[in-house]
Amino acid sequence: MNIAILIGISKYTSLKPLPACFFDVENMRRMLVATQKYDDIQLISETTSASQVKDALRNFFAKHQDSGEIEEAFIYFSGHGVYQNDALLCCTDFDSSRPATTSISNSELDDLLRSVNPSVAVKVIDACQSGSPYIKDANIGFEKSLGKSQLNSFICMASSQQDQSSYASASESFFTANWIDAASSKTDGQILYRDIQAALADAFVHDPDQTPFFINQGTGLEIFSKVTEEIKAFSASRAKSASPEKPEADIASLIEKEIASRDRQFVPHNDAIEASNASKSNLILQKIADPIVAKFYDLAFKTDTKLSSIPKSRNVASFAEEQAWAKRYFTKINYESYKTRTLNPLKFRTIIGRSFGEQNQDDYIVETKTRPASLEVTEPLPIEVAELIYSSRHPSLAAFRTYVGVVHSLTEVMILSSTVRLTQKGWNTSAPELSEIQWKYRTIPWTDIVKTPDAIWAEAKALGEIDIRNFLESLPPKVEALTEEVKAEGLAAAKENTEIA
């Protein structure tokens, strides 16, 4: 038996609508029906809350736990996605303050797939990773969390890398459209999942802004479908509905409109400089907004820090290299050399026969390698990194620091931010607790910055004060803890009195 569940979320209460997702899920349904392979196909689409989606998913897989052997279980999703400790697929009521309860997690999808023990599990995810990921998760981000399946034979195809968008027109998402075209392109024989992946890779090879990724745990020869007459008819209907060729005048008009749209994203260099200066001037006049934080802390500023000297700069530089920031922003990655030592395979047999202290220098191969060390801005702005310094008024209370870094292109500004607690390294010295640093990043159009210069640091400052407030509120013992302590003391006293009596 083969089963499939298709989810398309097009309407959101707090995120921008995605009208194409409504059509995506219907087109994918038509594709799967045309294969004549799937015994049960269920759709979840349009306006659907997280609780409704989860109930539908759980009921669907519970129904098939006793259906006998499941050859393939296929899950498709089209909508918004975020990464917050796991890949999360956003439902209509998604709320960034309650991400786990307003989305479907990748781990829950895997649990559901395991519950029916399919011979082959397939996930196709067409989701823009909107939201604000953390740079410290560069190696375990959205795409890598999707690949953490514990299934025996597992195939995942997703529309874009972390920090990329998944693009769409009003009527279809480009990844889904190309997926369907790839799956229906053959005229006879069998369609392997690896054939679909190869065609998708080719479809986006010249698009640096969207790069699909694939994860395979299996033979690599899993069959999506045999070519049926229904698939041929479906493919022909899609080709027929495609827009006819436009005359040269129409093509030129479309190009002019697109160029005009892109031109509107640019701001003059002077405007960018003025906005940056205004943001810097406004920042150093700020006071602590939270009254509880203001009671225990003083706020000062430092605005001459360089991006290359921020804490955990190597993590930021490694992420920038992975995401090719140098191609998109005015940045340069600085590299450093380091040496690695590995056992010489030619000496392995002789090494085993010796004790640890008898090993020789030529038992190892020493190599010099390079790695990203820091990120540098190549087109400086008046504000490169701002430090918001929260100094404690009490010696026993930890100080905090909020960092706000600015990386930019001609059209947008990427804001890097992190709030970190300082630990004492001596009577009069302290340093950021590096283990707590999480560099968060988000992009803002230059046009918005010019209108509202404070947008560079406003969110980072507000979130930083929330973190400090949470820290302060964690200091007093909880009422429940006090109650248990009193109970324990009372029991001990009662026991002592009993023993004396």
Low-confidence ranges of the chain (pLDDT < 50): 130-134, 136-147, 163-168, 481-482, 497-501
Residues facing residue 332 across a β-bridge = 376
Residues facing residue 2 across a β-bridge = 72
Q: What span, in angstroms and rounded, lies between the C-alpha atoms of 250 and 258? A: 12
Domain-by-domain residue ranges, the chain? 2-242, 284-473
pLDDT at 500: 39
Q: What is the 3-state secondary structure (H, E, C) of 186-216?
A: CCCCEEEHHHHHHHHHHHCCCCCCCCCEEEE
pLDDT digits (tens, 9 = 90+) for 61-73: 999 988 778 999 9
Q: How many CB atoms lie within 10 A of CB 433?
A: 14
pLDDT at 261: 81
pLDDT at 449: 96
**Overall pTM surpassing 0.85 (yes/no):** no
Contact 434, 311 (CB under 8 A): yes
Tokens 């299934």, residue? 151
CA distances in angstroms from 110 to 114, 257, 436, 474, listed in the order given = 6, 44, 30, 35
**Torsion angle of the four alpha carbons 195, 199, 202, 203, in this order, in degrees rounded to the nearest 10:** -160
What letter represents residue 267's amino acid? V
pLDDT at 208: 55
> What residues contact 117, with CB distance under 8 A and at least 6 apart?
70
pLDDT at 361: 65
pLDDT at 19: 82
pLDDT digits (tens, 9 = 90+) for 192-203: 998 998 888 888
Q: Which of 378, 379, 390, 375 has its CA nearest to residue 311?
A: 375
Q: What span, in angstroms and rounded, lies between the C-alpha atoms of 374 and 315? A: 8
Q: What span, in angstroms and rounded, lies between the C-alpha atoms of 455 and 449? A: 6
pLDDT at 169: 54
Q: What span, in angstroms and rounded, lies between the C-alpha atoms of 2 and 69? A: 9
Q: Note the helical H segments in 242-343.
A: 248-263, 269-283, 291-296, 313-322, 325-328
pLDDT at 498: 42
pLDDT at 250: 67
CATH 1.10.357.10 holds for 2-242: no
Q: 223-226 and 297-305: which strand pairing? A: unpaired
Mean of the per-residue pLDDT values for the chain? 83
